[in-house]
Structure 1
Amino acid sequence: MANTKTLPATRGTTATKKSGNTGGLSVALSPEQGLNRYLQEIRKFPMLEKNQEFMLAKRWAEDGDTDAAEQMVTSHLRLVAKIAMGYRGYGLPIGEVISEGNVGLMQAVKKFDPDRGFRLSTYAMWWIRAAIQEYVLRSWSLVKMGTTAAQKKLFFNLRRLKGEMKAIEDGDLKPEDVTKIATTLGVKETEVTSMNRRMLGGGDASLNVQIGAEDGSTQWQDWLEDDSESQESMLADTQEHDARMELLQDAMADLNDRERDIFMRRRLSEAPLTLEELATVYGVSRERIRQIEARAFEKIQKAMVNAADKAGLIEAD
C-alpha cells in the first residue's frame, strides 16, 4: 500500500519540476518567487511533538492519510531552508536549492518508518542533503564534477577544509595542504589539485558574455586567441609533405639495390646504422660505405630537383 500512496497537494510548500517523482505534492508558494516571503510563511507551520509526529506517520503509513503527510512535510520546511543555506557558496539560486531540498524531504516522508524509533528530522536530513548535493553537482558545471563517492565528498568538503587551513583565498594549494586534504578525505593528491583549480573558476562561464563595446556586439570569445596552427597552414604542410614523399619515392627508383638500402638505413631509418655497422654488413670499408651514401644522396637530390621543376613546384627567381 505504501508504494502506491501519493503525497497531498500541500499549502505553503515549494513547487518543483520533480513533483511527479515525489507523489504529486503541489505548491502554493515558491522560494524562487520571493525568498523572504517564503521564509516568513514557513515559520507559521508549527513544529511537531514526538508523539504527534509518530501518530501522523502511522496514519500516513497505514491509512494513506494525506493530511497527516502534509503536516509532516510543512513542519519540516524550516529544516530544509536551514540545510539549503549551507550551500550558498556555490553561486546557485538559493530558491532553487531549497526547492531541491523540499524534493528530498518529500521522498523522506514517503519512506519514513515511525516504528524504528527515530525522529523524522534525523531521517529526512540525509534525503534533503542528498537531493541538494545532486542538484549542485548537476548545475554547478556542465562538466561532471564528481563521479565517485570520494570525489563528491571532496567537492563538498574542500571549501570547509581550506577555511580551516586559512587558505580559502589562495590560488593553488601548498603541497602540505594538498597532502593533508587528500589524506583526510581519502582521495589522490592530483584530484585535490584538479578540483581546487576547477572550483577557483567559479563554475562555467559563457563565451557569449557581452563585454567592452557599448552596443553589446563584442563577446568574450572574440578576445580569445587560438595559438594552434590554422587549418590552411596544416593542409598546406600536409600537401607539401605528401608531394616531397612522392618525389623521394620516384627518385629512389633510380638507385641500385645497394645504394637504396644504404641510403635508407643511413638517412630514413628512425635508428640509423653507423658506417662501421654497414661496412660489416657489406664486407667493405667504412670509407666505401660513406662514398656510396654520398653518391646515392646526390642522385636523389638531382632527380627530385628536376622532377619538382618539371611539375612547376619550384618558383623561378
Structure 2
Amino acid sequence: TYAMWWIRAAIQEYILRSWSLVKMGTTAAQKKLFFNLRKIKGQLKALDEGDLRPDQVKLIATRLGVTEEDVVSMNRRLAGDSSLNAPVRNDAESGEWQDWLVDDTMDQETALAESEERDQRRGMLNDALKGLNARERRVFEARRLTDEPLTLEELSSEFGVSRERIRQIEVRAFEKVQRAVQKAAATSAQPEHALPG
C-alpha cells in the first residue's frame, strides 16, 4: 500500500512533465490546479467557455485554496499549445498568428542612427576636452561626467584652493566645452561641398 503512493506520485509527475512543451506545475498550488481544475470547471459547467468569468475564477480559487492569478494562469496553460504558424481563421487569406506578434525593439536603421549619433557626440566631447588644461579637465570630469560627482569641498582639498575657485574653474571649463561642441556640431551640420564635375 505504501508503494502505491509512490507509484501514483511518479505517474502524476510524469503526466505533469509531459503534458506540454511549456513547463507547468512547479508549485504546490499549480499542481493542485493542474489535477483539479478540469473537474471543478465541469461542476461549474464551464468546460467549453475558454476564459473563465471573474466569479468562476474566484469560486475555484476559494475551493482549492489558491490565488485567482494562479487559476487564470493554469486555465490558459491547460488550453493547449498552439502553433504560431496556425491560421487565424479558416479562410486562406487570414494570415498566421505570428503575423500579429509585435516586436518592441527598435528597427536596425534607428538603432544604427542612434549609435552613430552617440559616437559622434562622444567624439565631439572628447575633442572639446582636449582644449582644457589638466586642472580644468579634472574638475569638469569630476563634477559633470560622473554618476556620483565630487563635491566642491573634495576638489578644493585635492587642489589646495577654495571651493569658490573650483566653482569658477568648473564654469570656465563648461563654457569652453560648450563652445567647442557647438562649433563642432555646426561644422558637421554643414553640407559637404560637391566635387567639381
TM-score by length of 2: 0.66
Q: 1:298 aligns with which of 163, 175, 180?
A: 175
Superposed CA deviations along residues 124-166 of structure 1, whole A, max 9, x for unmatched, are 796577446524522x3212225xxxx3755442256664xx9
1:255 alignment partner, SS class: coil
Give the Cα separation in 1 of the matches to 2:68 and 2:153: 52
Give the Cα separation in 1 of the matches to 2:24 and 2:34: 15
Tell me the CA shift for residue 255 of structure 1.
0.8
Q: Which residue of 2 aligns with 1:277?
A: 154
Change in 2 beyond 3 A, CA 1:282/1:193: farther
Task: Count the aligned residue pairs.
Answer: 175
Give the Cα separation in 1 of the matches to 2:104 and 2:56: 31
Q: 1:250 aligns with which of 127, 130, 133?
A: 127
Contact 2:87 2:94 in 1 (8 A): yes
Give the Cα separation in 2 of the matches to 1:287 and 1:208: 68
Q: Which residue of 2 aligns with 1:170?
A: 57
Give the Cα separation in 1 of the matches to 2:16 and 2:112: 44
Which amino acid is 1:240 matched to?
E
Q: Which residue of 2 aligns with 1:137?
A: 17
- 1:158 aligned to 2:33? yes
Map 1:126-275 onto structure 2 (within 5 A): 127=7, 130-131=10-11, 133-138=13-18, 140-146=19-25, 151=26, 154-159=29-34, 163=40, 169-170=56-57, 180-181=65-66, 196-201=71-76, 202-212=79-89, 214-275=91-152
RMSD: 3.9
Give the Cα separation in 1 of the matches to 2:150 and 2:27: 55
- 1:289 aligned to 2:169? no
Structure with larger Rg: 1
Contact 2:57 2:72 in 1 (8 A): no
Contact 2:156 2:162 in 1 (8 A): yes
Greater relative contact order (Cα 8 A, min sep 6): structure 1 or 2?
2
Unpaired runs of 5+ in structure 1? Answer: 1-117, 182-191
Percent identity between the two aligned chains: 40
Change in 2 beyond 3 A, CA 1:200/1:235: farther
TM-score by length of 1: 0.44
Give the Cα separation in 2 of the matches to 1:169 and 1:298: 67
